């Protein structure tokens, strides 16, 4: 609360540039992708069906352009070319995800797909041969359809399935993979069970299914972490975390109600998953438990729609991450009030009306405005709210356009956001240890299909060969990585609210 008040008081401050525009020598740079978004080969070589295969085939009308990831960037067949591009950027790490259904078609170890296992072995070995560290996300939205058929993430038993899937990955790849992530953006995964047609599997169980899905994923994460910590870390020596995502929320006015609303929005989104892991108290944020319980009772439900952890589960979750993995793209204004299309729902329980300042620059995605100072604000909030002494790794940050090769918008986005990240590091003392650009190449953007482009490399989706072409931003990012220094361009876009 006090922090947000200070942010508001300083909201008209002049930009404060980092005294040093250089990154620490040991700072890590990375690029990222996700399996369903790039691999294609949706039914090749024994891969099982996943929830995105099922949904996009049965309901192409759910996707903006009616497309799917059946071929996508065809990285299943073109991974060697992808590794060459990664190498040319000079980054330290490549973050990618494993398709659960490609290695375990039924979702459990009763059936292992050797060709799928070999694909990731070849990718990992090629990365290491080129001195690129693999960072593996175990789950990036693509649940095997067999597991959805028994209820998907709202079914508590999926935590046990995930634990054994994680064990399989540690056994198979853990001798070479030292950076692990359990889930990517679990709040987004919950949309598949709470915000109809926002994510696969498009189950309309708002206000119930989303909270139960989150509960199962948190339990699954803790199980995977404890298995790794107790059985694999002594010999494999890696690190494991969970990728959380959040916009920053700036109070729309100086009123105490809006200041509280901005704090509440952060707690209901980032805090939903961060509070159980990164605080000494553990469990869900108090404001979530109170509001959801009160809304549930008011509706005549005898218990809260938010599930409860056991004492052991709270203990297992606390400290179950070796670094803080954070995705961030944009900022919203937050105002106290109700903004929800459905009731009951996560949005209704939050009680916050979000908006954007019309003066903020646009990307080609209307909900992703370019607000660099919000990046610094979020980093300060995270560092003040949670135990981040192990360091914050930015695992996604990027800009959407329509695929321009001379992508000045993306160049300005990266330089302005990186400059504000340096401000957070040098002026605010936030311990950021790495930065990941989303994305290596244009790809399938979920419900937006191929209408949005985030890549450093252009992909011609009309060409059966899926020809890749470097954009201007690729050359700029390569230079930043090589020099560990920001170019002067982009400084004019930086308008910090946190001097």
CB 435 within 8 A of CB 424: no
Cα(494)–Cα(14) distance, integer angstroms: 10
**Residue 447 DSSP label:** G
> Smallest Cα–Cα separation from 46: which of 156, 144, 152?
144
> Smallest Cα–Cα separation from 381: which of 334, 428, 323?
428
Question: What b-and-e string marks burial along 165-176, b requiring 16 or more CB atoms within 10 Å of the CB?
Answer: bbbbbbebbbeb
Cα(252)–Cα(421) distance, integer angstroms: 23
CB 91 within 8 A of CB 178: no
Would you list the DSSP string of 305-373? SS----HHHHHHHTT--SSEEEE---EEEEEES---SSSS-HHHHHTEEEE--TTSPP-SSTT----HH
Would you list the DSSP string of 165-181? HHHHHHHHHTTT--EEE
CA distances from 415 to 70, 80, 362, 407 (A): 34, 29, 16, 13
> Smallest Cα–Cα separation from 407: which of 494, 327, 477?
477
Ramachandran quadrant class, 491 (left: phi over 0; alpha: psi -120 to 50; beta: rest): alpha
- Residue ranges in 27-66 assigned as alpha helix (H): 35-38, 51-58
Residue entry with tokens 């067999």: 146
Cα(166)–Cα(380) distance, integer angstroms: 32
Helix (H, G, I), strand (E, B) or coil at 189: helix
Catalytic pick among 313, 335, 347, 396: 396
CB 7 within 8 A of CB 497: yes
My answer on whether omega of the bond before 297 falls inside 30° of 0, hence cis, is: no
396 belongs to the catalytic site:
yes
Catalytic pick among 185, 313, 347, 385: 185
Which positions are catalytic? 185, 396
């Amino acid at each position: 609360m006090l922090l947000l008040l200070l942010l508001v008081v300083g909201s008209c401050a002049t930009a404060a540039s980092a005294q040093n525009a250089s990154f620490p020598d040991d700072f890590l740079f990375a690029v990222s992708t996700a399996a369903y978004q790039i691999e294609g080969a949706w039914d090749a070589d024994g891969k099982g069906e996943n929830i995105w295969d099922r949904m996009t085939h049965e309901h192409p009308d759910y996707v903006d352009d009616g497309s799917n990831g059946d071929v996508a960037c065809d990285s299943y067949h073109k991974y060697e070319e992808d590794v060459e591009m990664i190498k040319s950027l000079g980054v330290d790490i490549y973050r990618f995800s494993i398709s659960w259904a490609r290695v375990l078609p039924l979702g459990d170890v009763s059936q292992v797909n050797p060709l799928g296992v070999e694909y990731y072995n070849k990718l990992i070995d090629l990365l290491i041969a080129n001195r690129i560290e693999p960072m593996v996300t175990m789950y990036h939205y693509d649940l095997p359809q067999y597991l959805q058929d028994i209820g998907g993430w709202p079914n508590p038993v999926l935590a046990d399935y995930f634990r054994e899937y994680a064990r399989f990955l540690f056994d198979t790849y853990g001798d070479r993979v030292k950076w692990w992530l359990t889930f990517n953006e679990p709040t987004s995964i919950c949309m598949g069970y709470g915000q109809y047609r926002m994510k696969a599997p498009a189950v309309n169980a708002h206000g119930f299914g989303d909270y139960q899905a989150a509960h199962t994923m948190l339990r699954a994460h803790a199980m995977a972490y404890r298995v790794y910590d107790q059985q694999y870390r002594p010999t494999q020596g890696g690190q494991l975390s969970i990728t959380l995502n959040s916009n920053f929320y700036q109070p729309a006015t100086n009123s105490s109600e809006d200041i509280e609303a901005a704090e509440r929005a952060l707690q209901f989104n980032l805090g939903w998953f961060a509070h159980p892991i990164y605080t000494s108290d553990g469990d869900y944020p108090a404001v979530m438990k109170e509001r959801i319980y009160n809304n549930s009772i008011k509706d005549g439900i005898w218990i809260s729609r938010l599930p409860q952890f056991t004492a052991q589960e709270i203990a297992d979750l606390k400290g179950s991450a070796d670094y803080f993995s954070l995705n961030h793209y944009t900022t919203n204004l937050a105002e106290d009030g109700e903004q929800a299309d459905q009731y009951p729902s996560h949005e209704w329980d939050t009680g916050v009306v979000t908006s954007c300042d019309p003066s903020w620059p646009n990307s080609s995605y209307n909900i992703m405005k370019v607000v660099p100072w919000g990046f610094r604000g979020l980093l300060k909030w995270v560092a003040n709210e949670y135990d981040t002494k192990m360091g914050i790794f930015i695992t996604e940050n990027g800009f959407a356009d329509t695929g321009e090769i001379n992508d000045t918008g993306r160049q300005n986005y990266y330089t302005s956001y990186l400059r504000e990240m340096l401000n957070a590091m040098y002026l605010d003392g936030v311990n950021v240890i790495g930065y990941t650009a989303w994305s290596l190449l244009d790809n399938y953007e979920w419900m937006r299909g191929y209408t949005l482009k985030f890549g450093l490399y252009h992909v011609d989706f009309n060409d059966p060969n899926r020809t890749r072409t470097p954009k201007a931003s690729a050359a700029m990012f390569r230079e930043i990585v090589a020099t560990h220094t920001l170019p002067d361009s982009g400084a004019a876009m930086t308008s910090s609210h946190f001097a």
